[in-house]
Amino acid sequence: MDETNNSGTPTESSPRTSFLHLLSTLVKVFIVVLIVLGFVALILYLFYHPDEMQVIVETASLTRFTLVSDTPNSCTFFNLSLTVALRNPNYFVGIHYDRLEADAFRNNEPFGWTTLPAFYQEQKNTDIVTAIVQRHTYMPIESEEFKYDDGTGLSNVEVRLEGRVRYRFGAVVTKSHSLRVECPLTLQLITTGISWNAGRDFQRTKCSVVKY
C-alpha cells in the first residue's frame, strides 16, 4: 500500500507498519472469537446444566425376627426394605447411573448395604428402585437395644444412596460424577408379639441430594 508525503508524492508503507496492522487485525479477530465462544458456552451451560435429581422414599419397612436359643445370646435378623423413586427433572439431559448402592445406618450405627442395578434414565422420567438390606446379629434378649426398640416401637434409620453418574446431552456424555443422597427415616419396627406393630404408617420422605 502506498502513502503520500506532505508534498503529495506517493511513498511505500514500511514492512513494519504492515506487520503491525496485520497483528492488530488478528488480535481483534481473536478477541471476537473468544467473546463468541464464551457467549455460546454460557448459553449451553444455562440451557443444558443438569438440575439435581429428585429422590423420594415411597415405602419403607424394618422387620425384626429373633430366634431364641438355649444360649445366653439370641440370633436376631433385621430386614430393611424400601422403594425409592428417582426423578430426572431435566428436559434435555439424560442420566447414566453407572454404579448405585444403598448404605443403611440404624440409630447412628452401620446396619448394612446392598448394590442396586445400573440403568439409564431418560429426560423428564421417574424410575423406581427397590432395595433390601439385611443384617443378623447375636445379642442378649435383655440388651439395651431390645429395651429401646420395645419401649418406643420406632427406629431411626438413615439410608444413603451413593454411586457414580454421567449426564447425556444428545450424543455428548460427560465424565463420571460422584452421587450422594441422604434419606433420614423414622420407621415402625415390626416385631412379632408387639402390639404397636401396625400403629404407624410410613410417610413418603424426600431425600437430600448432597452430590450429583
Distance CA 25, CA 27 (A): 5
Q: What's the confidence (pLDDT) of residue 8? A: 54
What's the pLDDT at 70?
A: 55
- C-alpha cell of residue 158: 438413615
Rounded CA separation 59/57 (Å): 6
Segment 92-131, tens digit of pLDDT = 899 999 999 999 998 778 888 999 999 999 999 999 999 9
Tell me, what's the pLDDT at 124?
Answer: 96
Tell me the pTM: 0.72
Please give the pLDDT value at position 31: 93
The ranges of the chain with pLDDT < 50 are 1, 3, 195-199
Amino acid 16: pLDDT: 73
**The pLDDT of residue 199:** 42
**Contact in structure between 153 and 193 (CB atoms under 8 Å):** no
- Residue 191: name the closest of 138, 143, 137, 152 by CA: 152
